Structure 1
Amino acid sequence: MSDIQVFDFKGATVRTLADKQGEPWFVLKDCMDVLGIGNPTETVKMFDEDEFSTTEVIDSIGRRQQAYVISEPGLYRLVMKSRKPEAKDFQRWVTHEVLPQIRRTGGYIPQGETPEETLARAVIIAQKTLDEQARRIKQQDRQLEAQAPKVLFADSVAASDSSILVGELARDLRQNGVNIGQNRLFQWLRDNGYLVRRRGESWNEPTQKSVEQGLFEVKTRSFNNPDGSTFVRRTTKITGKGRIYFTNKFLARRVAA
């Protein structure tokens, strides 16, 4: 995560930072304060694993603390939970002002005490943006060179030593011409007996048969709450074998169609 950027929404402090890919993350407590939502320790349980994380921040009196941060999709989910009239204004402010400026300039530019100070901040952010873009172009060029001689099946075999999220498989399939998203893929896996269909503790976890086939695994992670308590999150992931299996299955269906 990058350095914290602090900005103001109607007098309320909202802190944001960017990950290594330049995607914005928001300090959960700041957003909850704006939206009138309570306990972060309980609220964080509503997010998927890729929608929240923890990072170190410095509070108003200079103490270093661990804080929850949420991604852009996580922020939208949080806004939907709020009943305050400010929720709509907050989302519009983020989507129409903050995010476009972050993506255009590489960061939110707070106003300095003088025009010269504001300009200096903009120049620094612009330079960081150019450096990051150059790094990404080089990385993409290397990836294209490495992937050029491969077909999707071989690429899946090369990645078969690690498991992926269902959403990641949906993304890979879309990139190869299969019109499916994460929610539709989850539904297909449930309808075809690969994931548990009954709502409850085991919903969206692999069935016994698909586990025995080696197509899925369940990752268990424990998280420490700021109050010292812990909670456990279980995440369904597709194994390397499963990735090859489902990739071939969907591509075969596309060819047959």
Structure 2
Amino acid sequence: MEIVNTNKNGHTVSSREIASYAGKQHSHVMEAIRKMEKSWAEVNQSSFRLVEYVDGKGQKRPEYLLTKKESLYIATKFNDVARAKLINRWEELEQQVQTNQFQIPTTLSGALLLASQQAEQIEQQQLLLEQTNNQLNAVSTKVNEQASQLQKQAPKVVFADAVIETGDSCLVGHLATLISQAGFSIGQNRLFQLLRDLGYLGNVGEKRNKPLQHAIEDGFFELKYSEYLDNNGNKKMTTVTKVTPKGQAFFINLFKI
């Protein structure tokens, strides 16, 4: 896969290339990008660019084309090796651009055109700096608000930390009880629905109410397997979704704020 040149001012990297760096399936990377897009849009007032490509079978498939800043934001979801590869790729690309694109004008018209382009670049950089400052101010305000909320919720944070110390996984129904004890009244069915809506549990078919792979990798859920005999004496396998101590603390803090 290659970096795709989108315009004279910049380049993009595809979600497929990020998947190759991270050693993950492209569908998993697409899922991670979709979940991270909401937070990005809140800060930057822009969404990621979603396009189509034609795979080896001639079928159209979706992929994201991300700028450098967007791709490095997405890379925070993956391991250090993937981030290092992506950073090296961007550095290599930028060095190529600097080497190949800059030429000293030999005519008056060329010099005037270069001066105009440089003035435009300076104006764009100033605008970007202003946007960055606004984003930093917005983030700072949000952090202060969250810090204030955490201070008010300190007793409940202690309660959630105490859950981790027990070291026991629990059923989603028991998690609903723990969350209610922490101050947010919720029942088992409503909690299942929220966990599906938030993208932690599957929605349909055999995956319904089963943890998605990223939720297992994050250490929030685990699947317990067991065998039983049906009415005909045949062995059957069943799976039960359980919330780890880490997941219990995470969701208690998530729903109480």
- State TM-score, norm by structure 2: 0.37
Q: Higher helix share goes to which structure?
A: 2
- State TM-score, norm by structure 1: 0.37
